[in-house]
Amino acid sequence: MTAVSTNGNAPLGARRIFAAPLGCKVSRIDAAAAARLAGVARDEVQAAGPAGADVLLVHGCAVTDRAERDGRRLVRRLRRENPRATLVVSGCLAEKGGESLARMPEVDLVVSLAARDALPEILDAHEAGLLPERIVTTGAAARAALFAMPAQDRPPEALIDPDRTRAFLKIQDGCERRCAFCVVPSLRGKERSARIEDVVDAVRRLGDAGVPEVVLAGIHLAAFGHDRGTRLFDLLARLEDDPPACRVRLSSLEPMEAGEALVDLAANSRAVVPHLHLPLQSGSFGVLKRMRRGIVPERYRALAARAVRLNPRLHLATDLIAGFPGETDAEFAETRRFVEELPFASLHVFPFSPRSHTDAAAWHQENPLPPRVVTERTRALRRLGEEKARAFASRASGTAAEVVTLRGNRGLTDHYLDVGLRLPPGENVPGRRLTVRLLPTGRDGRLEAHPC
């Protein structure tokens, strides 16, 4: 959560906004962008809590039923902490459950994804008593395209994370895949992309302003440019030809759509750091087919092996769902063997959580796996992930790396290792890019950054 306030010349005057995003990077970017459109300046992010805010903005997630419940709990908690503020719910949570949210006594306004850019006017109208309904929309979410691209006469619009060092640019929205467990396509609508020229300009301006790293994010990032007749590779090639002053990191990419050319570029780029997050979800052919992931395990294996062969330093990460409906012991063993054999540096493991109105949720109702089995499989894969992470860190021990210094005397290497800093005074100031040597701490395989 991030507390923000407006300046005196902003559209919302003296209103103070507390933005509480839940969910993925894109949700965080959208929440910050909506708050900025309502008059929040990047330099005015404060550490104050919600109690002093005039507006509470809950930008919620609805990827699972549990995420939706978490959003509602947050709404109730924020209302208890501040009974006076105007409480606004936006994000996928508002798109999925707008009617029921509007019936919550804690909620003042439900703002659809397509109406977020009108937040200043919406709040003005609400205060004037001109809104007859709690739900505010300007049309289907499929028409929304709130990107973090800056206007030429303003500082770059990007979400600076709590460490205040890295920037996140949302360059793509929407998804047209139909994975059996996912509700996001019905919430985010068709795939839409920012223009390559706008993204390149934003990245360069951020780098020139001193931001050391920019993360490119999207709901379906690998589909960037498809609606405009271009590709993500074309964008990265532009950055590669004339690297910006900052380093560039890619968020999650659908592996089969990423392709060999993009993997090759990311593995040996002057602009893009050696880090690929390629969601797998399962290593079993049968489970992947039921998930409708469009992934063939052996094709994924070849892509992953190619990336690490081209650059052994590359951090290869993936997502896994444990306990998908109908997953047999043999299919889980197939996933485990597959993951053991691949050169992953980290695993993001989630127990299956049904999302209402998806095929997977219906299958779960018909033939649920025992919770004990789901828990055991989740723990087994997470233990495997810990082993993979320790092995990757061990290989990096004693080597040189470029680190971006964060707050809390921490740093993030180009190949995505979170390390402690053991640097001379003045060099560990947040927001610097330094070449360091990575040495073990003696605790759980963690590494520290030392002067070269």
Which tens digit of pLDDT belongs to each residue from 133-177? 788 765 433 333 445 454 444 444 445 554 568 888 889 988 888
Structural domain range at position 216: 159-395
| pLDDT at residue 39, rounded to an integer | 53
Q: What is the mean pLDDT of residues 214-240?
A: 93
Indicate the average pLDDT of the chain. 84
Each residue's pLDDT tens digit, 426-439:
888 888 999 999 99
Is there a domain that residue 441 lies in?
yes
Q: Which of 349, 380, 395 is the last residue of a domain?
A: 395
Q: Which of the listed ranges 44-48, 207-211, 369-373 does the model predict with the highest average pLDDT?
A: 369-373
Tens digit of each residue's pLDDT (9 = 90 or more) over 333-383 = 999 999 999 999 999 999 998 888 889 989 999 988 999 999 999 999 999
Question: Within this chain, do residues 351 and 202 fall inside the same structural domain, yes or no?
Answer: yes
Number of domains in the chain: 3
Same domain, 366 and 428: no
Sorting pLDDT into bands at 50, 70 and 90, what band is 54? confident
Domain shared by 380 and 305, yes or no: yes
Paired sense of beta strands 55-60 and 40-46, if any: unpaired
pLDDT 10s digits, 170-208? 899 888 888 998 887 777 778 889 999 999 998 998 899
| 206 belongs to a structural domain | yes
Q: What's residue 399's pLDDT?
A: 97
Q: What is the pLDDT of residue 124?
A: 78
State the pLDDT at residue 9: 33
Highest mean pLDDT among 58-72, 107-121, 131-145, 300-314: 300-314
What percent of the chain is predicted at pLDDT more than 70? 85
- Shared domain for 20 and 110, answered yes or no, is yes
Q: Is residue 199 part of a domain?
A: yes
Is residue 218 over pLDDT 80? Answer: yes
Question: Is 148 among the domain residues?
Answer: no
112 and 229 both lie in a single domain: no
In a domain, 150, yes or no: no
Given a cut of 80, whether residue 10 has pLDDT beyond it is no
CATH code of the domain covering residue 245:
3.80.30.20
Of the two residues 49 and 343, the one the predictor is more confident about is: 343
Taking only the tens place, the pLDDT of each residue in 246-265 is 999 999 999 888 889 999 99
Q: Is the pLDDT of residue 393 over 80?
A: yes
Residues 118 and 182 grouped into a single domain? no
Reported confidence tier of residue 230, pLDDT bands at 50, 70, 90: very high
